Structure 1
Amino acid sequence: MTQAAIPRSINGPRIEAANSLDYFPTPPWATRALFAEILGTKAFRDLIVEDPACGEGHMAYVLQEVFGTVWASDVYDHGYRLNGGFALRDFLEPAAFDDLKRPDWIITNPPFGTKLLAFVRRALARARTGVAIYMPTVKLDGINRHRFVYGPRPPHTIAQFVERAPCHKGRWEPDGDTFTAYCWMIWRLDRRVKDPVFRWIPPCRSRLTFQRDIDLFGTSSAPPLSSSRGSSLTGAP
């Protein structure tokens, strides 16, 4: 199948083989929305964040706009596109991280299949201050996820995208679409939580998609954006 023939929408749940790398890059704007609409940016400049499922760097690229130090790793080298900072490590093998101190935050788009629960539990055990997981909204249910994570360690915030933030297998489509809804699950490990706060992430795709994102990662024929857009997240709430 040619690139032009690859469909740009995911019309159902992500179903992958057991040995699949489950690589569906995060739209850069969806990571920016976490800070622009939910967390703000001022508290992170002196902190370390880790993305242990970094792929080509779609999320780590945005995290560099907010955090002072970004650690990026993956179980497979998908062709990390940023300068430095990549390590080939299996996040689910604790010994692979013995040489690193614990980061302040772990923010990532993990595999959504059978490894999701293990990824979340490992992130909660490893991070010092906070964890933010990008996931399909349908993953808010599940008996085992509730038994082992959501019940004993409820998130601080569930932030639901109002507009769809599409993930496509092996690539980012700047003008792509999807039937799948996504949210951010955010744990604040320094705070006691009884019931999560629910927040909406308002429509922000056009505002938070920058021309430099498309120049670096885009694979579609989307028209160029104004060069005046996308200097930084400075001033986000």
Structure 2
Amino acid sequence: MIGFATLDIVALVFFMASWVGYHYAVELGPHAANSLNMRMNLRRQRWVQEAMARDNRIVDTQVMNGLQNGTAFFASTSLIAIGGALTLLQSADRVVAIFADLPLGETPTRAVWETKVIGLAVIFGYAFFKFAWSYRLFNYCVILIGALPSARAHTAEEASRAIHETVEMNISAGRHFNRGQRAFFFALAYLGWFLGPVAFIGFTAAVLTAMWRRQFGSDAARIFRHEAVGPVLPHEQDTP
């Protein structure tokens, strides 16, 4: 990459490997079932089963509205972040001059600065698509909850199929929402690159450690530490 030092390339590779490795560990790895996200998927399954047992599902639609509103908020925030990142491209010359006066080592060139800013915008763009798709899936989930058959008027086969479809849609929506939030966290790590490759590596390691602890060692994760890990309904794994 023209204009970038070897350490910059090493830092970028570490950043990308951390993102992919964390995705594998939390969603696909041998310890993924112990993650907070996967344990909450079991609660999604229990929620739909409980909704199936009652005819009045006003509470369930209210819960879905809360999930949709949170997803819409993050989708809107992603668009604002994209606009802010692209605005930085118009101030490249001014920013380079400011960095030249700071004791941060080598001053970045305009091309280097613009490349980093575009990378940041790409991360927020990825987050937007994840949040937008999650919002759409939560919409579908509302429809599936409304389509759940009556607690008294259904066969065992109809109930099983309806629960499976609703749980799978709910889990898929939550999975994409989690990936969008993950992009936000790694965007914070990416900001370290503007201070230099060493800061980039340090920021990435700090964010990775914080995210790992939240999934496996936080107070929220320890709520389920005495729970026997059970299987979540099988579902197809899509791309990160």
Do the two structures share a fold, i.e. TM-score over 0.5? no
Greater RCO, 1 or 2 (C-alpha within 8 Å, sep 6+): 2
Bin for the TM-score computed over the shorter chain = under 0.3
TM-score by length of 1: 0.24
TM-score by length of 2: 0.24
**Greater share of helix:** 2
Tell which structure's C-alpha radius of gyration is larger.
Answer: 2
